[in-house]
Amino acid sequence: MKLAKREKYFIGIGGTALVIFFLMQLLVFPLLDNRKRLQRGVEAKEAGLREMLRMQAEYQTYQSGSQGIERSLANRKRGFTLFSFLEQAAGAAEVKENIKYMKPSTSKGSGPYKESMVEIKLETITMKQLVGYLHRIESPKNVTSVKRISIKGNKKEPGYLDVVLQVLTLNK
């Protein structure tokens, strides 16, 4: 069977197109898909690395804070108790006679520190006395802080306050 020049030309173009099609399907497209897959994998790993670096910085912040607490606890007076500290601060702030009650409690900490807390109720004190007392008991040096505060106006004496504080500290 003899083919005309024009038919040979079309068969050549068709064969070439077929070869190109198979090369694309078997080589080029799989390589491009593999490249995209690898690129997505690299992006995922980079995101994971960024998250790890963020977590490392957060961990270092917590660790330095923990070391600061450790130093503060080591520098605190020997035999420090929150109850006596609050009582002395009340005397210095001239609110000792306004103390209705002081309830100590300790919580069971799961870490290296135990949280010790005292709930204290002060009745008929002025705002100035409250601020002076709070200034004395919020002490980074002694690792004490106010966890909760409730302030109400005194019903019997206008201009005076009734205050309930929960003060906590850390102990080893």
Answer whether residue 68 shows pLDDT above 90. Answer: no
pLDDT by residue (tens digit) across 105-121? 877 666 777 888 999 99
List, in sequence order, the alpha helices (H) in the chain.
5-23, 29-75, 82-92, 127-137
Contact yes or no for 166/147 (Cβ under 8 A)? yes
Buried b vs exposed e over 133-158: b needs ≥16 C-beta within 10 Å? bbebbebeebbbeeeeeeeeeeeeee
Q: Is residue 111 packed enough to be buried (19+ CB in 10 Å), middle (13-18) or exposed (0-12)?
A: exposed
pLDDT by residue (tens digit) across 136-151? 998 778 888 999 999 9
The contacts of residue 71 (CB under 8 Å, 6+ apart) are: none
Average pLDDT over residues 85-107: 90
Contact yes or no for 165/130 (Cβ under 8 A)? no
Phi-psi region of 71 (alpha: psi -120 to 50; beta: other; left: phi over 0): alpha
pTM: 0.60
pLDDT at 63: 79
